[in-house]
Structure 1
Amino acid sequence: MSVDAQDVVLIVEDEPLIMMLLSDYLSGEGYRVLQAENGEQAFEILASRPHLDLMITDYRLPGGISGVMIAEPAVKLRPDLKVIFISGYPAEIAESGSPIAARAPILAKPFTMETLHSQIERLLA
């Protein structure tokens, strides 16, 4: 269970099964979960929600947008926002040249919920 049950997590993931697994797990851990299936939905949530603690984003998303393209402006607007990248292609994130990708955790799919949970606890501590 998260220390602060009001921690808000935005998940940006286009694969419905992965979205469901992450959402169910994080909700069960006491996080408030928001979901976006693509960049457009992610930007709408980022523009309308005054408070987010963490964004977990896939790298490859529909419409040619990447998780890095969402994370960079999000962190500029919200410097305290923590980011975790998830991808079946983790090297692409590391090679993107993004300063956020250089410091944010990158989890290669498939990963365990324990691995995800330990990264979240470390970032939100």
Structure 2
Amino acid sequence: MSTHPDRFAVVIDDESIILAGMEIMLDTWGYQVLAAEDVDTVLERLPGAPVPDVILSDYRLRDGWSGITAVRAVREACGAAVPAIILTGDTGTELIAAAKAEQVTILHKPVQPVDLRRHIDALVAPVKG
């Protein structure tokens, strides 16, 4: 698969080791990455940044945020229906219903990099040449 040097991803995870791993992985795939441990930091850094091609978020975040509310906040800040994936170990029907209502993809942990890449590539529009 080709890399996407013009692609931009937002990653939110309150576990720093996971956040760092996601950032490195996306970077090797050619994405520029805005990675943060909390939603407020993402919202502070978004002004002036390009509209993300994809949002990746853990489901359970700090300060009362969930992956669903984080995706909603980033989309509102960007003024765009940015494709999003929530990574979670939660299999509850409430989460699945909320994700469906927000048009968010749910991937259950552990997620293999090849599977994550496949889902991202399916959500992100092809590069226009």
Fold conserved (TM > 0.5)? Answer: yes
Aligned to 1:86: 87
1:73 and 1:64 mapped to 2: Cα distance? 13
Aligned to 2:11: 11
With 84-93 and 27-36 compared, the bigger mean Cα shift is at 84-93
User: Normalising by the residue count of structure 2, what TM-score does the alignment of the two structures yield?
Assistant: 0.82
Structure 1 residue 9 displacement after superposition: 0.3
Root-mean-square deviation (Å):
2.0
1:33-83 Cα deviation digits (max 9, x unpaired): 111101211222334424211110111111111111121233244324111
2:65 and 2:53 mapped to 1: Cα distance? 22
Q: Is the 8 A contact 1:90 1:106 kept in 2?
A: no
Question: When the two structures are aligned, how many residues end up with a matched partner?
Answer: 123
Q: In structure 1, list runs of 5 or more residues that go unmatched.
A: none
Structure 1 residue 2 displacement after superposition: 4.5
Amino acid corresponding to residue 89 of structure 2 in structure 1 = G
Which structure has the highest helix share of the two? 1
Identical-pair percentage: 28
Amino acid corresponding to residue 38 of structure 1 in structure 2 = D
Aligned to 2:36: 36
Structure 1 residue 18 displacement after superposition: 1.0
**4+ residue runs of structure 1 moved beyond 3 angstroms?**
1-4, 95-98
Distance 1:93 1:47, change over 3 A: farther
Alignment map for 1:85-124 (pairs within 5 Å) = 85-91=86-92, 92-96=94-98, 99-100=101-102, 103-124=103-124
Distance 1:29 1:97, change over 3 A: closer
Distance 1:68 1:33, change over 3 A: same
